[in-house]
């Protein structure tokens, strides 16, 4: 190898080293979380490539709680509740996370997904403190999720509770048969196979069956809420009193934050800053941390889309905000949410948007 | 001279290589092209590792912006040096000073390597700072060499020549502020 070739070989090696370092740097930057402040401003996060400092994770659940068919890809974020479920389990195992703050802004959603989120919160609660902070709405399935947390903090005007189950369907028999002359032909293997068919009146047996499902689901809901709210309470009298108060409002009604504290559905009134303070104290106590104020609250989100890379990810990452923006430009939908997700029980506050 | 040979020689044998370029002993084919490429890459790295980058959001635009501003800054620096030299009767080709000042930024190509240490706790952070300062010193020395060899100056004159624009800036600020101070005196 002559001198010139040798020089070129060394130069190529040095350039390759720089190139690899650039690629690693960009990957590291892409996986960087951001600090979350009550004001909503964001600052550089402190996640470390190898391990990291003690911190509190901020996980948000927005919009309808449900599992859609969309998968996370470089072009789209997965639904908020699906992402939250995954992140809760990550946070439970992440040694640098000393506590989790769940920020809820949701009217609820499907039963199964709400239960999965509840279980995910319980899994975190076993190993580190969890505080639920409610935004504008944290009703039904969203309240159910919050009930698994150590503490619930809500704004005085937050709409919450809505403890109950709803299932709706449409009976279009007259329209189809009498007006349009359309008759359905149904061949079924059992009497309940076409339950809630819009082409006919439901039978008594069907209504009884559905009511049984709704009642069972409601019992599950109420039991989980009571279990979550009374966990760790030793005073039997106080415990019973709390259960009575919860049951008294567990009729599907929406409760405002201020009232929810009195009833015992919520522990304290406050916003994100207050919730953060409570979580810092709980985490400091649990992990013997001398200075709780040093625990920073950071957005715990590892998903990163191609849109984020080009600085256009806000609408994709915050579906609730995107929907609100669309609402300004499109006519209101006069179909209740429960009918848009017809024929399935929902733990959801009814809405027409 | 190929890019790889140029890269090697500027980093490890800078004085001789710059003198060869300045005297015309080394081939100047594609030299300005290489120089532009280096300025673009170094500026882009500055965009990637900007302290204002909290996340990778909008990174391509930041890189593009850093590349354009880097090019403008490079041409401006070269023009200031060439003008100062012309004022003092030193003749050197503008292409040579542009090429050599661009090559002087080459050590900054190692900035990503230094930044790899940054997330590794306080020791890694310290190492990253030391390497970055080393790159700054290395690049500054190469810059002084570039001026020295383009205009065939002694080291003392190079130091004076490169500090002149800074001193002139202070003079310029004093001159402009003097204008406004006098204006207010008349108006009040």
Phi-psi region of B173 (alpha: psi -120 to 50; beta: other; left: phi over 0): alpha
Question: Looking at the predicted structure, is the pLDDT value of residue A332 above 60?
Answer: no
Measured in angstroms, the CA of A41 and the nearest CA of chain B are apart by 12
CA distance A34 to chain B (A): 7
Test B55 with A21 for CB contact under 8 angstroms.
no
Cα angle: A54, vertex A60, A62; to 5 degrees: 180
Please name which of B152, B35, B158, B145 lies closest in space to residue B95, comparing C-alpha atoms: B35
> Using beta carbons and an 8 Å cutoff, which residues of B are at the interface with A?
2, 4-5, 7-9, 11, 45, 48-49, 53-61, 109-110, 112-113, 115-116, 119-121
| Cα gap B44→B70, rounded to integer Å | 8
**What pLDDT, on the 0 to 100 scale, is given for residue A331?**
45
On chain A, the residues whose CB falls within 8 A of the CB of B61 are 310-311
Are B109 and A18 a contacting pair at CB < 8 A?
Answer: yes
Rounded Cα–Cα distance for residues A196 and A233 (Å): 43
What tokens were used for B151?
């205009």
Residue B109 to residue A17, Cβ atoms within 8 A? no
Q: How far is A11 from chain B (nearest CA, A)?
A: 5
- Residue in A closest to B3 by C-alpha: A8
Residue with tokens 């390759």: A16
Residues A51 and A96 sit within 8 Å (Cβ to Cβ)? yes
Q: Return the higher-pLDDT residue of B84 and A42.
A: B84
Q: Who among B53, B109, B110 is closest to A29 (CB)? A: B53
All residues of chain A having their beta carbon less than 8 Å from the beta carbon of residue B50 are none
pLDDT reported for residue A311: 52
Tokens of A238: 């106080």
Please report, in angstroms and rounded to a whole number, the separation of the first and last CA atoms in chain B: 65
CB contact under 8 A, A4 and B53: no
Residue B113: closest C-alpha in chain A? A21
Compare all CA atoms of chain B with the CA of A22 and give the residue at the minimum distance.
Answer: B112
| A chain contacts of residue B58, beta-carbon cutoff 8 Å | 309-311
Residues of A designated as active site: 140, 193
Which H or E element spans position A297? strand A296-299
Q: Are A117 and A64 in contact (CB under 8 A)?
A: no
Phi first, then psi, for residue A140 (nearest 5°) are 50, -115
pLDDT tens-digit readout, A246-287: 999 999 999 999 999 999 999 999 999 999 999 999 999 999
The first and second tokens of residue A71, run together, are 């998968």
Query: Closest Cα to residue A46, out of B9, B37, B54, B126?
Result: B54
In angstroms, the separation between the Cα of residue B58 and the nearest Cα of chain A is 4
Q: Tokens for A202, please give them.
A: 């439901």
- Whole-number Å distance between alpha carbons of B7 and A253: 73
- pLDDT tens for each residue of A94-140: 888 999 999 999 999 899 999 999 999 999 999 999 999 999 999 99
Model pLDDT, residue A315:
38
Which stretches of chain B drop beneath a pLDDT of 70?
A: 25-29, 51-57, 188
- DSSP letter string, A40-79: --EEE--B-SSSB--EEEEEEEES-B---SPPPBTTBPPP
Model ipTM? 0.76
Give the pLDDT score at A30. Answer: 66
């Amino acid at each position: 190898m002559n001198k010139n070739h040798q020089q070129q070989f060394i130069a190529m090696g040095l350039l390759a080293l720089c190139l690899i370092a650039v690629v690693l740097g960009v990957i590291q930057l892409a996986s960087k979380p951001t600090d979350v402040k009550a004001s909503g401003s964001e600052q550089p996060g402190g996640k470390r490539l190898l391990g990291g400092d003690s911190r509190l994770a901020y996980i948000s659940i927005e919009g309808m709680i449900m599992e859609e068919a969309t998968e996370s890809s470089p072009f789209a974020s997965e639904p908020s509740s699906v992402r939250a479920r995954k992140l809760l389990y990550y946070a439970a195992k992440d040694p640098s996370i000393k506590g989790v703050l769940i920020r809820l802004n949701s009217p609820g959603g499907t039963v199964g997904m709400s239960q999965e989120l509840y279980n995910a919160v319980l899994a975190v609660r076993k190993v580190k403190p969890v505080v639920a902070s409610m935004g504008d709405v944290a009703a039904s399935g969203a309240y159910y999720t919050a009930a698994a947390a150590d503490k619930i903090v809500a704004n005085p005007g937050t709409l919450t509770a809505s403890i109950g189950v709803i299932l709706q369907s449409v009976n279009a028999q007259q329209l189809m048969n009498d007006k349009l002359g359309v008759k359905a032909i149904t061949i079924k293997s059992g009497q309940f196979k076409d339950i809630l068919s819009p082409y006919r009146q439901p039978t008594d047996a069907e209504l009884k069956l559905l009511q049984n499902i709704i009642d069972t689901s409601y019992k599950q809901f109420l039991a989980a809420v009571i279990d979550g709210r009374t966990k760790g309470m030793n005073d039997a009298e106080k415990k019973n009193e709390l259960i009575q108060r919860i049951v008294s409002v567990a009729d599907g009604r929406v409760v405002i934050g201020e009232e929810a504290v009195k009833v015992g559905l919520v522990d304290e009134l406050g916003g994100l800053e207050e919730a953060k303070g409570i979580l810092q104290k709980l985490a400091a106590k649990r992990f013997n941390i001398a200075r709780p104020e040093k625990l920073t609250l950071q957005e715990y989100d590892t998903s990163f889309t191609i849109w984020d890379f080009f600085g256009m990810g806000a609408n994709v990452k915050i579906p609730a905000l995107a929907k609100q923006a669309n609402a300004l430009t499109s006519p209101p939908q006069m179909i209740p949410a429960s009918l848009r997700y017809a024929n399935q029980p929902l733990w959801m506050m009814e809405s027409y948007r | 001279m190929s890019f790889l040979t140029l890269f090697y020689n500027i980093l490890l044998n800078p004085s001789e290589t710059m003198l060869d370029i300045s005297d015309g002993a080394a081939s100047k084919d594609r030299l300005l092209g290489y120089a532009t490429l280096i300025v673009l890459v170094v500026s882009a790295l500055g965009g990637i590792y900007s302290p204002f980058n909290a996340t990778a959001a909008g990174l391509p635009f930041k890189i593009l912006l850093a590349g354009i501003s880097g090019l403008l800054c490079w041409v401006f620096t070269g023009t200031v040096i060439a003008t100062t030299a012309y004022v003092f009767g030193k003749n050197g080709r503008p292409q040579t000073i542009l090429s050599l000042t661009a090559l002087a930024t080459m050590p900054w190509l190692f900035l990503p390597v230094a930044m790899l240490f940054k997330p590794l706790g306080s020791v890694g952070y310290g190492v990253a700072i030391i390497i970055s300062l080393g790159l700054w010193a290395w690049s500054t020395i190469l810059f002084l060499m570039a001026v020295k060899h383009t205009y065939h100056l002694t080291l003392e004159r190079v130091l004076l020549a490169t500090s002149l624009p800074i001193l002139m800036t202070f003079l310029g600020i004093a001159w402009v502020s003097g204008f406004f101070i006098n204006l207010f005196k008349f108006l009040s």
